[in-house]
A and B are shown apart, each in its own frame.
Chain A
Amino acid sequence: MAEIVLETRGLTKRFGGVTASDNVDFTLRARELRCLIGPNGAGKSTFFKCVTGLHTPTTGEVYMRGQDTTGWAPHQIASLGVGIKTQVPSVMDALSVQENIWLAARRFMPVAEANRRTRDMIERLRLGALARRDLGQLAHGERQRVELGMVAVADPWLVLLDEPAAGMSAEDVERMTEILHELNQTTAIVIVEHDMQFIRAIASTVTVFHQGRVLMEDQVDKVMADATVRNVYLGKAA
């Protein structure tokens, strides 16, 4: 079995009286691709934020490659070699595509290598024509793609993505899927996602969240066929 890269034990996050994330035990191994699904308010985004350091869990622990990272700041977690993409596109609008990706690369390597990697990444994302354009001038799908490039350029061993396909065109989603598969050759990926089409397309193991807890964990087809999941997630009609 491959090395465990991400593990949570009894992860719980309460906001006042609401338990958004309830005693979640989660394990992810190297080069695994995992989707987190669940209806709105199921606790997947809270779980994501606790893992990435945007929230501090109320109780429970988070381990990355065996290192206890509970309560760490996002920049400390990212420094371990963890790529993070938040739900809302978070990019630097007044800077060029090239500069955005370069800044992400520069954190982990010297200038010359960062320059080279940036060029390669822009090519891989097929953004060559836009390299010098400011992010603020780009379309939504292109911005998402750039952000994915920012996550991927530093060669992370764990990538955490919150709704990467949100608001993207079919063509954009296709390209995103391609990039993710390529990325998955070297890194473990966790994707929080609503879009079942997208999840089917990347065909992964799925963890279903419901009311803050993990409901089940299995191959995407088995999860889709499961009566309980269909009830809580897809609605009874589906």
Chain B
Amino acid sequence: MGGVQMGSGRDIAAILIVSALLMLLAPLVIGTYTLTLLVIYGMLALSLGLIWGFGGILCFGQAAFFGLGAYTYAIAAINIGESTLPMILAVLVPAGFALLLGAMMFYGRLTDVYLGVITLVVTLILFRFINSTAGPQYTIGTARLGGYNGIPGFQTLNVPGDPDAYIWGDAYFYVCAVALVLVALLVTWLLRSSFGRIALGIRENETRASLMGYDVAARKTVLFAIGAGIAGLAGALFANWAEIVTPALFSLGQSAEIIIWCIVGGLGTRFGPVLGAAGLAYLKFLLGQQSVLDNTLIMGAVLVIFVLFLPRGLVPAIAALWQRATRGRGRRAASLARRRRAEVPYG
């Protein structure tokens, strides 16, 4: 953002320095247990930020992939008893599911509204289905699905190859934080690659992209699956943090929250969704400790205020301010404010 080109050496150095500083300083202010959750939500928001902000795919069911990742991890961990393979499966299963769902939607040439409806309905179906699996007949291997009770008591994250060396507490926070940094770097690299640049082109104009000879449906499907894989990883990390998975992971409230994180943080940026997620989740955490004001009321107010006064979100607004401060009265400030302008990588 600002004057720094995405994916340049300076940009990557900035990501590494800022995240290292945050990893050092944030635990001094907020407990690592809470911080871990903020990091996980940040990753989840980034997954939607990628496909929505850069691919133009508004998915109302990102929680479905999050929940699918968490359940995949829990079920695989019970069956396997070691966490490495379950972590990998927790990425692959949601990605595979998204590949099928995406192919159906994008090759079916569904427009935005129907895409939203279908992803929403899929989330609902998963929620209802998992809720109804309380009976003992619903098992996968040795794991009982547990219905509304969820699945507790699975093997949590361990040092690869050593099931007794659990990673928990402060160490688990650093694992999650490093995972988020790696995902952010992956997203940066992806957006800088030809694939990412073409994805941006498709977001801007699907017809033109197909007249250029790009298979829009295939490319959107792949991007959708990558987003789902990231959401799945966040889900697995969440399962390890909560040490239980429940159908609430698939809830519509969860899906809506991810969308709000992206809007508040700033769509079409890499860090906006992460910031939005961490900020709002922490606000929710603080609000949860008092009973004077209703939690959802305040979250609703925050969303309304952002949509009205900072429609492009926090990060683009800060970036515009920064640009104005450093370059005097920015020539492009007016047009920047007018249009949804994403950070665009140059060759």
Tell me whether A and B are bound partners: yes
Which A residues are closer than 8 A to B by beta carbons? 52, 73-75, 78-79, 84-86, 90-96, 98-100, 102-104, 106-108, 111, 115, 118, 132, 134, 136-137, 150, 154
A94-B340 in contact (CB<8A):
yes
CB contact list, B297-335 vs A, under 8 A = 335
**Cross-chain contact of B210 among A75, A96, A111, A134 (Cβ < 8 A):** A75
**Cross-chain contact of A86 among B194, B207, B213, B340 (Cβ < 8 A):** B207
* 5 A-B contacts (beta carbon < 8 Å): A75-B215, A99-B200, A103-B197, A104-B212, A136-B339
Nearest B residue to A112 via CB reads B347
B213-A75 in contact (CB<8A):
yes
Q: Report how many residues on chain B are interfacial, defined by Cβ distance under 8 Å.
A: 25
Chain A nearest CB from B326 CB (Å) reads 18
**Cross-chain contact of A118 among B209, B211, B339, B347 (Cβ < 8 A):** B347
Interface flag for B10 (CB, 8 Å): no
The 6 lowest CB-CB distance pairs between A and B, nearest first, are A92-B204, A78-B213, A75-B210, A79-B213, A90-B208, A107-B213
With contacts A103-B198, A106-B198, A134-B341 taken as known, whether A98 is within 8 angstroms of B211 at the C-beta atoms is no
With contacts A75-B216, A108-B213 taken as known, whether A115 is within 8 angstroms of B208 at the C-beta atoms is no
Residues of A within 8 A of B204 (CB): 92-95
Nearest A residue to B338 via CB reads A136
**Assembled-state Cα–Cα distance A98/B340 (Å):** 19
Residues of B within 8 A of A150 (CB): 208, 212
Chain B nearest CB from A48 CB (Å) reads 12
**Cross-chain contact of B208 among A52, A91, A102, A154 (Cβ < 8 A):** A91
Chain A nearest CB from B277 CB (Å) reads 24
Chain B nearest CB from A182 CB (Å) reads 21
A75-B194 in contact (CB<8A):
no
With contacts A94-B344, A106-B194 taken as known, whether A86 is within 8 angstroms of B211 at the C-beta atoms is yes
B201-A95 in contact (CB<8A):
yes
Chain B nearest CB from A161 CB (Å) reads 12
Residues of B within 8 A of A79 (CB): 213
**Assembled-state Cα–Cα distance A118/B342 (Å):** 22
Chain A nearest CB from B278 CB (Å) reads 27
A94-B211 in contact (CB<8A):
no
Please give 13 more A-B residue pairs, beta carbons under 8 A apart, in addition to A75-B211, A95-B201.
A52-B211, A75-B216, A78-B210, A78-B211, A91-B205, A93-B339, A94-B204, A94-B340, A100-B201, A103-B197, A108-B213, A115-B347, A150-B212
